[in-house]
Amino acid sequence: MEFAEVVRRRRMIRHFTDEPVAPEVVDRLLAAALRAPSAGFSQGWAFLVLTDDEDRARFWPFVPTRVEQTPTMQLAPVVIVPLAHKATYLERYAEPDKGWEDRAEARWPAPYWFIDTGMASLLILLTAVDEGLDACFFGIQPDQLAPFRAEFGIPDDYAPLGGITVGHRAPDTPAQPAAVDERRRGAESVVHRGQFGVHG
Amino acid sequence: MEFAEVVRRRRMIRHFTDEPVAPEVVDRLLAAALRAPSAGFSQGWAFLVLTDDEDRARFWPFVPTRVEQTPTMQLAPVVIVPLAHKATYLERYAEPDKGWEDRAEARWPAPYWFIDTGMASLLILLTAVDEGLDACFFGIQPDQLAPFRAEFGIPDDYAPLGGITVGHRAPDTPAQPAAVDERRRGAESVVHRGQFGVHG
């Protein structure tokens, strides 16, 4: 699919069928994620991939009920949890070619472990559209982060960004509410030209 | 261009010519960024766009010299600084439909202001490739964040992620070092199946 068409079509879908996604498609989603850029090419990320019914059943209790948990959301045959690993970045920038001899977090002007893993997550969302599938990115309930880590054996220094469902859109999926386009911020409000506060 | 080809071609380019980029192309880069997903559709981001020579000359002193600052990097006719605005998110999730009545940061399982603005930044990088251009995403020197904000009138609650240069690649741009592909982490090391630590 044309790149611009993928960008235009991508939106969060919360209603799926249980139609399977081929393992090689899952591999392409992950391969795209691994092509994300990263500060210092640190690649401080990991991806927990849940494709067995039993594994996905273990996952859903950690997701906020009010926001995302609909029965058809849980039919999606693929759940991917992107995880950011800050320690990789602190170690990377302590290497000699970066010229920093300590691992101080203050060296970092922004938390690239989250930013880069977010970019990898977007590549999963976009690649799903390119594969004719749909996807949704959603948060994990904050007070469920610790039990979620325990359930899946995730070390404390890996921070989950949330979950990504991938699958086939349910045929009766509600159309995107007009409110979404109405609420989209336009360039006139968020683009500043030459100086902050100068628009147009 | 095909989506997969855009993803495959994208890489960080640090050598540009001073050939201009048409204003409508800059607008398409920004329009793509504004289609990034965001938690609760908060869209807590801003973009400082520097296309005048004088404005870009004001920008470059804030970039780390050892890492990125090459003369040909500074020839790029477009610099975009994506900024994350946490306050928008805290306000968004205090709205009644989200069910949270306070603005506590602890409600957030991950810093979506950085994650979402990172996704918007990736859409700029990918759209540049789709437009036949190249781009580079780089950090701002941590100890220069305060003077950078002062120079461009950026409020304290807007956090710059870094800078993005966009332009035409210099014809003598060195080929991507083989080390980049050698250093790319494969699925076997960062993909965990069903349980953290279970690969393959």
Rounded to whole angstroms, the Cα distance separating B2 from A50 reads: 29
pLDDT in tens, A9-29: 999 998 999 999 999 999 999
pLDDT value at residue B132: 98
> Which of B43, B50, B111 lies closest to A185 in CB terms?
B43
Asked if B50 lies within 8 A of A194 by C-beta distance, the reply is yes
Whether residue B37 and residue A114 make contact (CB cut-off 8 A), yes or no, is: no
Fill in the DSSP letter of residue B41.
Answer: G
B58 close to B151: Cβ distance less than 8 angstroms: yes
The pLDDT value recorded for residue A67 is 47
CA distance B115 to chain A (A): 5
Q: Verify whether the Cβ–Cβ distance A3 to B127 is below 8 Å.
A: yes
CB contact under 8 A, B187 and A45: no
Q: Are A37 and B125 within 8 A, CB to CB?
A: yes
Structure tokens at B183: 């250093």
Tens digit of each residue's pLDDT (9 = 90 or more) over B188-200:
999 999 999 999 7
Taking CA–CA distances from A105, the nearest residue in chain B reads: B142
What is the architecture, at CATH level 2, of domain B3-173?
A: 3-Layer(aba) Sandwich (3.40)
ipTM above 0.90?
yes
> Which residue is closest to B154 within chain A, CA to CA?
A196
Taking one residue from A and the other from B, the number of pairs with CB-CB distance under 8 angstroms is 207
| Residue contact A196–B152, C-beta within 8 A | yes
User: In terms of pLDDT, which residue wins out, A159 or A178?
Assistant: A159
Percentage of residues in chain B having pLDDT higher than 70: 90
3-state secondary structure A14-48: CCECCCCCCHHHHHHHHHHHCCCCCHHHCCCEEEE
Annotation: CATH topology of A3-190: NADH Oxidase (3.40.109)
Residues of chain B with C-beta less than 8 angstroms from the C-beta of A141: 109
Subunit contact B153:A195, Cβ cutoff 8 A = yes
Tokens of B192: 């965990």
Cβ within 8 Å, pair A122-B123 = yes
Q: Using CB atoms, which residue from A34, A46, A119 is nearest to B118?
A: A119
The set of residues, in sequence order, having a beta carbon less than 8 Å from that of B86 and lying 6+ positions away, is B44, B105, B111, B113, B157, B159
Instruction: Return the domain boundaries, chain A.
Output: 3-190
pLDDT confidence of residue B109: 87
